[in-house]
Chains A and B, each alone.
Chain A
Amino acid sequence: MLTCDTYHIPTSLPEALEMLNRYANNDVRILAGATDTLPWARQGRAGDVTGDHNVENIVDVSRVPELNGYEVKAGRVRMGSNLVFQNFLEDDTLSLHLPNMRYCAIWFADDQIRRQATLAGNLANASPAADGTPPMVALNGEVELASLAGKEIIRRQVPVTEFITGPGKTTLADNELITAVNCDSARGYGGSFEKVGQRRSLVISVACATCCVKVSGDGRRFEEIRLALGGIGPVPIRLDDAENLLRGSDVTYAAISRAAKLAPNRVASRSRRDYREDVIQGFAERAIINALADCGHNIKEKTEELAHV
C-alpha cells in the first residue's frame, strides 16, 4: 500500500508546480489517476516486507483545474492531462477527432479504472505494454510539460517518441508536470486498435497495433495512413516505412499485406520475440483493414494464407 508523510492537493497549476520545485530534491510522487501507482506500491512490487511503500510527498494533481478538459484547434487536439480513458468512449467530439482512441479505450483495463486512469499518466508510466502510447505515436502526439521558474510557468512540447526513452523511462524532469497531450486530429479517418493478452477484460497487452486511415474521395487510394505498434520493444514504434508504402497506393489487400510484412522487422523485445514477430504482421494487417472498415471501406478479399494453418 502506498503511504506518505504528506499528501498535497494543489488547486492551481502554479501551486502544483511550486510544490514540485519545493520537493524536487526530496522524495515526491505525482498522483493523477493513481490506478498504476497504488498497485505499484504493494508487496512484490515496490512494497517492503509489510507490503507498504512510503513516499515523503504525494502531489495529487486531480484537482488542478488547468489540467481538465480538451480543445480542438488548427488540426490538433489538446487534451488536458486529467483527461481519463473513459472520455474517449463517452465523448462524441473526441471520437470524431481521434477515431482510434475509442477502440484503444475499450481494451484498456475496465470501465471503472478508465474513469480514473489518465492518458497522460499512461504516457508518463512509459510501460512497453501501455495501450495509450501507440495511438499517440501514430497521431504525432506531444506531451506538454510545465515547470516553474520564479513566478513564470515554462512550457515545452516533447514528441511522445522522444519523451519515452525506455521501459518506465521518460525525459520528464523532477520539477515538471505533464499539463497536456497534443496530437493530430484525425477527423474523417477510420481508426482501429488491436491488442492481445491472455484474456478479454483487464488485459495487459503482449502486443498491440493501431491505425488511422483516410481514403481518397473515389475510395480507391490511401490518402493518408498512420500506423503504430506497442508491446514489441522498449518503446512504441511508428511504422513509417509501411505508411510510406501505402500512402497514395491503391486500397487492395495485396498492398496492405506488403506493408504489413515490414512490421516484424521492428520487433525489439527480448522476451517472447518469436511470438511477437509472428503476431505483429497479422496485427498490422488487421489494424489497417479494421480502420478502413471503420470509415466504410471493406476489404472484401480475404485470404486463407493469412490463417497460419
Chain B
Amino acid sequence: MSEHLIEATVNGRKVRKTVKAGTRLIDFLRDDLQLTGTKEGCGAGECGTCSVFVDGKLMKSCLMPVSRADGTVIETVENLSGGSILGERTAVQKAFHKMGASQCGYCIPGMVMAATAVLQDNPQAEREEIKERMGGNICRCTGYQKIIDAVELARDVANQIQPAGVLDTEEHHDDFIGASVWRIDAPGKVTGQLKYAGDMVLPGMLEMQVLRSPHAHARIVSIDFSSALEVPGVHAVITADDVPGTDGYGVFVHDQPVMARGKVRHVGEAVAAVAADDLQAAKEAVRLIRVVYEQLPAVFDTDTAKAPGAPIVHDYAPENLVKHIPIRKGDVDAGFAEASFVLEHTFQTQPVEHAYLEPEAGIGYVDADGVVTVHSPSQNITHHRHMLADILDLPINKVRMIMSPVGGGFGGKEDMLYQGMLAIMAMKTGRPVRLVFTREESITVSAKRHPTRIQYRMGVAKDGRITASQLKCESDGGAYGCSTEGVMRKMAILGPGPYDIPNVKIDTYGYYTNNTPSGAFRTFGAMQSEFSTEVMLDLAAEKLQLDPFEIRRINGMRNGAITHTKQKLESVSFQRVLEAAREGSRWESGPSSSRGEQRKDLSGTDIRPPCQLGARFMSTKPEGEFGRVRGRGMAASWYGIARTATIDRAGAWVELDDGGTAKVLTGVTEIGEGILTVLAQVAADELGIRPENITIGDNDTARSPEAAHAGATRQTYMIANAVALACRNVRERFDAEIAAFWEVEPDQLEASNGHIRVRETNKSMTMAEAVAVCKGQRGVVPVGSGSYTAPHTGLDPVDGSGKPWQAYVYGCQVAEVEVDTVTGEVQVLGVWAAHDVGRVINPQGVEGQIEGGVVQGLGQALMEDYQQTDGHAVSHGFDKYILPTSLDVPHINSIIIEDPDPLSPLGAKGIGEPALVPTVPAIINAIYDAAGIRLTSLPATPVKVLAALRDKKRMREGSLEAAE
C-alpha cells in the first residue's frame, strides 16, 4: 500500500504526516491527529456526524480520500471553542446548550458544524432554509426541533435581533424542580470533547475484528484460524472454545452465546474474533479464517416457525416459541354477542432499526487487581456484570462494567452483543482491546423492533362502548430470545389501550426464526398493539359517526378503573389528557369519516409549511402543486412506568462535600434523555444547593450503587426517587449536626440556593461554611444513601392478572398531514402531543423526549423498514434504511400534563417511551382523514399509499358502473 505525505493546516496548525493511501480524511483526523470530535456514524456520507470544513466548505470527511486533503485548510469542531472545553464557545454552541438541542450528543459535533456552515453561507437564513441546508445531518434523539430553534437563536443573536446575553443566561428561579435547567452535559457535547467508547485509546491497545456468519442457519463443522495467527501483528483469535464459564446471555433467557457455539442461527452472528496491533492486521487475519459450514434448513417467518416440522432454531424450544402471554378478563364471546357490531382487522408492523448514531463500541482490559473491565455504551451494566461473571467464571467483584457515554440506545444497547468477546480477548492477550462496529455491522447484528401481526376483533355497542376486545399478536423474535419475553408481556398488558373494557382476551406470541434477532425498542411492544387498537377505534367511531375523541372519552379509563390485568387504578389522568389534546390542537369535532379538506381546523399557525425544496432561491409555492390533500387524525395511549411485573429498585449515595458542593453516586445510565441533569436538579432541591455544584458519578459497577438499566421509562421514576431519598438521608444527619452547632432543633432548619438558615431568625450560613462546621467542628462527614423500591407483582400465568406497575401515564396526539395523491408521499405538518408525565422535573427535557419520540414514530409510520431476504439484510446502511431528516419532521406542539404519582416521593412518572406510542396511529388515522385510505401495514410508503388510492379509485369506478 502506497503512502502519501500530507501537509495541511488543521485547526490553525500546520500538520505534516505520512498517511496510507486510500484512508479517508476522517481516519486522518481521528486516528492520526486524535481529533475525535469528528464522529463516524455511518462511514458512507449518510448521516453527517463527520462534517468538517475543508477550505471553508462543509464536507463529510468520511467521503473524502485523505490524499485530497493535501494543501487544504481544515477546521474541525474542536476549533470552534479553541480546542478545549474551557474555551469560549461560539454563539451556535451556546444556543445548542440553551435550547436543549443535544441529547445523546453523538450527532451534535456534526450538527454544530452544519449549523455554523448555514449561518456562514446565509446569515439571514429563514427556518425552512436552515432545515434544508442541514438536511445532510441525521439526529435520532431530538426530532430536530430544538436544533433548528437553536440555529434560529444563534442567527438572531448574530444579527443583533436578540441580545448576546440571552446565550449566557438561564431563565429560571431557584426552585430547580420544574425548571428548564440547562443540561449539565451539553458543553462537552457541543464542543466535541466528550469521548465515546470508540474515541478512547489506551496504551498498548489492540484492535479487534469479528468474523460473522454468512448463513442464516448452519452447523459449524470446523474453524481453522492457523493462517490468521500467522499474520504479523496478530495476538490472538478466539472462538466459542475460549469461553471459560457458562456461555449464554440474554435479557430474559440466556440463549445467546458470546460467539456461535456449534451452529449459527442468523446472518451476522459472531463466529470468531481477532485482536491485532492495528485494524489492518486484524482484518487481514479475519479474511484468513476458514470456517466449514453445513447449511441447515432455515425459517424466516412466524407462520412457518410455528408449523409442525419447522426447522428448530433452539433445541430447548422445539415449537420455536419464545413466549406466550395470555390475558383473560370477563367473557369475550358474551361481549361480542352483546355488541351492535364486531370489527375484524389484521395489522402488520415492520422490523425497525434503532439507528442510534453511535455504533456499538467498547474497550476491554484486565486491571492491576485482576479485575476484568469493559467500557461500553451499555444500557444495563448491572445485568451485564451478572451475566459476564458467569460467562467468565469469575467472582462478581472481579468483573467491572463501566458505561461509556451512550450515543443513543432506545433499547438497542441492552443486549450484551460484544462485551463478552472484549473481556475474553483482554484476558487472553493481557492487553486492552477495542472493538468498534461499522454501521453495517450494527444494523445487521443488533436487535430490531419486533415485526408483529395483530389479528383484532372488537365488539362495539350502539352507544360507542367497547363490549369486547380480542387481540392475537404474533411476533418474529428472530434468532435469539433477547427481550422477546418482556416485549410480549408489555404488548399484551397495554394492548387494548387505556379503555374500560369488560371482556378482554389477549394472546401474544414471540417465535424464534433465523432472522436478525428482535429485542427491546422504545415502547417494548406496546407501540405495535396500541397502534392496532387506535386504528380500530377510528374505524368504530366512523361506523357510529362519532368524533374520534368522543369514542375515546366514552371508553376511557377514569379514577378507580380496573385494568385488563384486573388492577385497580387510583389516579387516572386519561380524560384530562384527551381534553388537553383536543383543545390544544383546536380540533374541530366531527366523525372520523375522511372529512379532510372540509375541516376548518387545518393550516393553523402551529404547523410547518409543506417542504418545497429550494427555499434558498424560491420564495413562492410553485404552481403545479395539485393533488395534495390535508387531513387530521388522533390517537391515544397509555404506558406503565418502570420494570414490568417484577419488583424494581435503585440506589444512590450522596455526600455533602467541601465548598458546599455535593457528590451523587448512582449507577445511572445517561442515555441522552438528560437524566444527569434531572438528578442534579433533584439533589440540588433536596440539599439546598445549586445544580452546578452537584457532581454526578455515574455508571460503574465498581464505584456506584446499583441503579440498573436505562429502559422501561424508569430512570426518573426509580433513580431520581433514590437520589431524593439519599439526599434526605444526608440532610437528616447534616441538619442534626448543624442544629446542634446552633443549639436549635433540626426541624427549624431550611436550606436553599447554597444557604442554610434557622427559620424566623437571622442565623444563616453558606453551605460551604456549614459543611466546614459539620466536618471541622462536629467531626462528621455528611454522607447518606437511599434506595427506592417499586413493588410490582408478576402476572398470573393463566389469566394474566396482576399489578405490573404502580404508576401509569397517558398520552394523546393529533397529527395533521398532507398526502400527495400524485406521488403517494405523506408529509406530517403538525403534531400536538399531550402527555401526563407526573410531576415535571425539567420541562425542556420533557419536550425533548416528546419531540424525539414523535419523530421516531413518524419514521416508523412512513419510511423505516428493516428488510431481509432469507435472513440477509437488504437495508444494511443508511442509504436503504431510511430515517427522517430535518425536512421530514412536523412542528411539534408539546402539551405537558402533571398528574403527580401519589405513591412515590417526587411524584414524577416518565415520558421516554410513551412519547412515541400514539404518533404512528395518529398519522395513519390522519392519512385516512385526508385521502380516504386505511393503511393497516406499516410503513405507509408512497408505494403503499398510491396502491391504496388506486384500489379506492377502482372500487369507486366499479360501484359507479354498477349503479349505471
Contact = CB atoms under 8 A, between A and B. Distances in A.
Interface of A: 1-7, 9, 31, 34-35, 38-39, 42-45, 47-52, 58, 60, 62-63, 89, 102-103, 106-107, 109-113, 115-116, 192, 196, 198-202, 204, 206, 272, 274-275, 278-279, 282-283, 285-290, 292-294, 298-299, 302-303, 306-309
Contacts of B625: 286
Given A1-B24, A34-B64, A116-B63, A275 B824 contact: yes
A292 B623 contact: yes
A250 to B, nearest CB: 17
A52 B629 contact: no
A109 B136 contact: yes
A208 to B, nearest CB: 11
A298 B617 contact: no
A287 B62 CA distance: 35
B4 interface: yes
B57 A115 contact: yes
19 contacts: A4-B1, A43-B876, A50-B209, A50-B286, A63-B68, A102-B617, A111-B117, A111-B135, A196-B942, A198-B941, A200-B887, A201-B135, A282-B822, A302-B626, A307-B626, A307-B821, A308-B953, A309-B949, A309-B953
Given A43-B876, A302-B626, A112 B43 contact: no
Nearest to B284: A50
A112 B624 contact: no
B886 interface: yes
Contacts of B1: 3-6
B622 interface: yes
Contacts of A306: 626-627, 822
Nearest to B114: A112
A275 B949 contact: no
Contacts of A299: 623-624
A49 B825 CA distance: 37
A62 B873 CA distance: 34
Q: Which of A109, A199, A282, A285 has the most CB of B within 10 A?
A: A199
Interface in B617-651: 617, 622-629
A283 B822 contact: yes
A40 to B, nearest CB: 9
Contacts of A63: 68
Contacts of B884: 199
A201 B863 CA distance: 13
Interface of B: 1-2, 4, 21-22, 24, 43-46, 48, 51, 57-60, 62-65, 67-68, 114, 117, 132-133, 135-136, 209, 211-212, 214, 283, 286-287, 438, 440-441, 444, 611, 613-614, 616-617, 622-629, 820-825, 827, 862-863, 873, 876-877, 879, 882-888, 931-932, 941-943, 946-947, 949-950, 952-953
A116 B64 contact: yes
Report, nearest first, the 10 A-B pairs whose CB atoms are least far apart.
A110-B136, A201-B135, A282-B822, A289-B624, A7-B21, A200-B887, A39-B44, A293-B623, A43-B440, A201-B885
B622 A293 contact: yes
A281 to B, nearest CB: 8
A1 B114 CA distance: 24
Contacts of A51: 438, 440-441
B441 A112 contact: no
Given A111-B135, A112-B59, A309 B629 contact: yes
Contact of A290 (B4, B623, B627): B623
B136 A290 contact: no
A35 B135 contact: no
B48 A112 contact: yes
A199 B876 contact: no
Contacts of A113: 45, 60, 63, 136
Given A196-B825, A200-B885, A202-B46, A285 B283 contact: no
Q: Which of A1, A7, A52, A89 has the most CB of B within 10 A?
A: A7
A195 to B, nearest CB: 9
Given A200-B887, A306-B822, A103 B624 contact: no
A50 B822 contact: no
Contact of A112 (B60, B212, B863, B876): B60
A51 B283 CA distance: 9
Given A279-B946, A299-B623, 17 more contacts: A2-B65, A4-B21, A39-B44, A39-B877, A42-B440, A49-B286, A58-B21, A106-B132, A112-B114, A113-B63, A200-B887, A201-B885, A201-B887, A279-B823, A293-B622, A298-B623, A307-B627
B941 A107 contact: no
B946 A286 contact: no
A43 B946 contact: no
Given A274-B947, A283-B823, A201 B136 contact: yes
Nearest to A1: B43
Nearest to A292: B623
B882 A308 contact: no
A112 B950 contact: no
B390 to A, nearest CB: 31
A41 to B, nearest CB: 9
Nearest to B862: A198
Contacts of A290: 622-624
Nearest to A2: B22
Nearest to B135: A201
Contact of B888 (A109, A192, A200): A200
A31 B64 CA distance: 11
A35 B65 CA distance: 10
Given A43-B441, A198-B942, A309 B932 contact: yes
Contacts of B614: 102-103, 106
A35 B63 contact: yes
A112 to B, nearest CB: 5
A306 B626 CA distance: 7
Contact of B283 (A50, A109, A202): A50
Contacts of B888: 199-201
Nearest to A90: B121
Contacts of A303: 626
Q: Which of A31, A111, A115, A282 has the most CB of B within 10 A?
A: A111
B874 to A, nearest CB: 9
A201 B139 CA distance: 13
A38 B942 contact: no
B244 to A, nearest CB: 27
B626 A7 contact: no
Contacts of B629: 307, 309
Contacts of B873: 44
Contact of B877 (A4, A44, A50, A111): A44
A196 B622 CA distance: 16
A275 B68 contact: no
B940 to A, nearest CB: 11
Given A6-B2, A6-B21, A200-B135, A308 B942 contact: no
A34 B65 contact: yes
Given A107-B613, A201-B885, A201-B886, A274 B135 contact: no
Contacts of B820: 196
Q: Which of B209, B873, B886, B946 has the most CB of A within 10 A?
A: B946
B870 to A, nearest CB: 14
